[in-house]
Chains A and B, each alone.
Chain A
């Protein structure tokens, strides 16, 4: 099996994160590694840097990891999580500016074809283009 870009889904809600991951798996299949997290460190709505770092490691691929987020705090916490990775890992993780559900499905579809991290990100971010 050739390595593909991994996908991480970060929502304020664990239910949304899981539901998005379920859709990706059903629509794209299991050849792409997908990890998700949602909820603050107490389990309420929010995001957790520690959980995001764990999810990045779960979805880790030598080709890199693309992160899809919902609202502002998920983005800020994801960027913080990326900065806290080892330098060698850090350069292989991107936070995509894309809607979370559509972005995750499009990114995973692109990743399944063996695309690079830059290609995966570009396809997800096209959804946010004017």
Chain B
């Protein structure tokens, strides 16, 4: 798995398009346990990313990730803006400091996950996007270099998002609902899964 500029551009494009097309589902999940704006917020943010796609993909990878992060921070309009924004800003920052893809993928992804955790003052197990990102990070570490890495990441993300349904939220808006948050998949976990799976699907197509 190497990351050529054209590949990166197509990964960003497919991930953004996938999130945008899932906006109605994200909104309906968020109406169940949040304030109902996750889909529309993510759509706004990733449409802004698509609007800058040519400029983004002309940048070095570290700067490109930071531009994606900053664009999400400035355009999403909900807590998911700084959360996803911090992920991409930190991942870009890691690449600016001696980390390289694909060899350091787990480290770079881990920098992003740590930034989300710090920004949200949250850990895995609290019914948030971290309940997808942390298991994905674990798979990136344990299956690094394996031929089936991408397939395992896909499976990890799909299983992780379903595991958020029985969880009771203790962070974010859903925590206001207490026990009533149980039984619903977390919208942030779902959007993280959509992004991860879109990237995996495109990489598998290219293999």
Contacts and interface: CB of A to CB of B under 8 A. Distances in A.
B187 interface: no
A41 B76 CA distance: 7
Query: Size range of the interface on A?
Result: 10 to 19
A84 interface: yes
A80 B85 contact: yes
A95 B172 CA distance: 17
Interface in A1-51: 40-42, 44-50
Contacts of B86: 80
Interface string B65-82: 000000001111111011
Contacts of B78: 40, 46-47, 73, 77
A45 B74 contact: no
A84 B41 contact: no
Contact of B81 (A42, A44, A71, A77): A77
Contacts of A76: 79, 81-83, 119-120
A72 interface: yes
A44 B37 CA distance: 10
Nearest to B36: A45
Nearest to B40: A44
A102 interface: no
B71 to A, nearest CB: 11
Interface of B: 35, 37, 40-41, 44, 73-79, 81-83, 85-86, 119-120, 172-173
Given A46-B41, A76-B81, 12 more contacts: A40-B44, A41-B44, A42-B44, A46-B78, A47-B77, A49-B73, A49-B81, A72-B172, A76-B120, A77-B77, A77-B82, A79-B119
